[in-house]
Amino acid sequence: MSRRKTERLLNLVVCLLATRRYLTAEQIRRAVPGYPESDEAFKRMFERDKEELRELGVPLEVGSDQQGGGGEEIGYRIPPQAYELPDIHLTPDEAAVLGLAARVWQRASMAEAASGALLKLRAAGVETDVTTAVGIEPRVNTGDPAFPALWEAVRDGRPVAFDYQGIGRTSVVRRHLEPWGVVSRRGRWYVVGFDRDREEQRVFRLSRIVGDVGGDGPSGTVTVPDGVDVRRIAFDWGDPVSEPRPATVRLRAGSAQGPRRWARDVRPAPADEGDGDWDEATLTFRDVERFAPYLARFADDVVVLDPPDLREAVIQQLKSVLAVTSHDPGAADVRGVQEGTVGGR
């Protein structure tokens, strides 16, 4: 919506709220800035504006102040009692929950909305507890790039499409989803909905979505089926990431003691590979996204050989470090690891 249209609609709402009698279209035309001089153009614009207000939920009342007699001209107004929210009464526990919820969101877009809601409640005389110290500060980490687009799609009832990289896959697949909800489970975010490709309900982890999430249809075309518990679906979902998987890594001799301690076996690396003393080990892991940052902490003392998705995840971790330390002379060592050149790889 353009700024000019927004200002005109706001002025129209203020005008119709302030009047105690019905205002005719001509009176509105003179009182509200932004309407055209042409009668036909004004009529078309005013009709669109009335529809906009109704779609926004504004209770536009149509009537006349004249009682019978015929020939009365139709007018418009917005009854304040129908437009304003009723008095809000919160128990101390409910007010405390509101204050706590406002401090949960770390993402700027969510924090702004929560803060604005609390400000409006305080302006209405509702006490909200946002200062009481708590022993444990709750945080919801919504750092997944796909989160804002999916949250908005759920809110608007809009289908989406995105590229998804499943467990153990090195390539992405295009998915088309009717999203029902976004849920946090064990520190990870998931979107639940109807998968149009498989024609069944599915759960997708947000961190495995590659690239942007795009719209795949108009708003208002997705509805959550009756009786569907989105949170329960996400919590009952059999996430294959829970299955243990083997990883083959190369460890620099005398280093990387952490991985060595819980390796299934450690053996000398083939003599024809590598530019120094290296061992080869088999490790077991369950979650690529948790295991990759751990291995990346050992920098050039660990080289992942297999599986490919773990190797790629470690490289991406090291590339992110390289981006931050690009002006550091020591970044050359990191570059060697992320290019896979350490240990003869």
Is pLDDT above 50 for 230? yes
The pair phi, psi for residue 294, each rounded to 5°, is -65, -50
Q: Which amino acid type is present at position 145? A: P
Can you give the pLDDT at residue 336? 42
Average pLDDT over residues 97-106: 63
pLDDT digits (tens, 9 = 90+) for 252-274: 988 888 888 888 889 888 866 55
Residue 307 in tokens = 């599986």
What is the C-alpha separation between 157 and 268, in angstroms, rounded? 57
Which structure tokens are listed for 52?
């906009």
In this predicted structure, which of 1-10, 115-124, 173-182, 209-218 has the lowest mean pLDDT? 115-124
C-alpha–C-alpha distance, residues 164 and 111, integer Å: 28
pLDDT tens readout for residues 286-305: 778 778 888 988 888 899 99
pLDDT value at 104 more than 70: no
Non-local CB neighbours of 312 within 8 Å, separated by 6+ positions: 170
Task: Answer yes or no: are the C-beta atoms of 53 and 15 closer than 8 Å.
Answer: no
β-pair type (61-63, 173-185) = unpaired
pLDDT band at 94 (very low <50, low <70, confident <90, very high): confident
CA 5 to chain centre: 29
Top-confidence residue, 104 or 224:
224
Confidence of residue 249 (pLDDT cuts 50, 70, 90): very high
Name the DSSP letter for residue 156: H
Q: How many helices and strands (H and E) does the chain possess?
A: 12, 12
Length, in residues, of the chain: 345
How many Å is the maximal CA-CA distance in the chain? 106
Q: What percent of the chain has pLDDT over 70?
A: 71
Calpha distance 37→193 (Å, rounded): 49
CA distance 345 to 337: 9
Q: Which residue has the higher pLDDT, 163 or 240?
A: 163
Classify 240 as helix, strand or coil: helix
- Residue 186 reports pLDDT greater than 50: yes
Residue 180 in this model has a pLDDT that exceeds 60: yes
The domain 147-241 having CATH identifier 2.30.30: the answer here is yes
* Alpha-carbon gap, residue 20 to 80, rounded angstroms: 10
Element (H, E) at 259: helix 257-261
Q: Is the pLDDT of residue 275 over 90?
A: no
d(CA 218, CA 157): 8
Give the DSSP letter of residue 269.
Answer: P
Mean pLDDT of the chain: 79
Give the pLDDT of residue 99: 67
67 pLDDT above the threshold of 90: no
Look at 116 and 189; give whichever has higher pLDDT. Answer: 189
Q: How confident is the model at residue 232 (pLDDT cuts 50, 70, 90)?
A: confident
Using CA atoms, how far apart are residues 45 and 63, in angstroms rounded to an integer?
20
Which one is predicted more confidently, 103 or 333? 103
> Which CATH number applies to 3-83?
1.10.10
pLDDT band, residue 120 (cuts 50/70/90):
low
Cα(75)–Cα(329) distance, integer angstroms: 75
DSSP string covering 128-184: -------SS---B----TTHHHHHHHHHHT--EEEEE--TT-SS-EEEEEEEEEEEE
Q: What pLDDT shows up at residue 201?
A: 92
Residue 198: what residue type? R
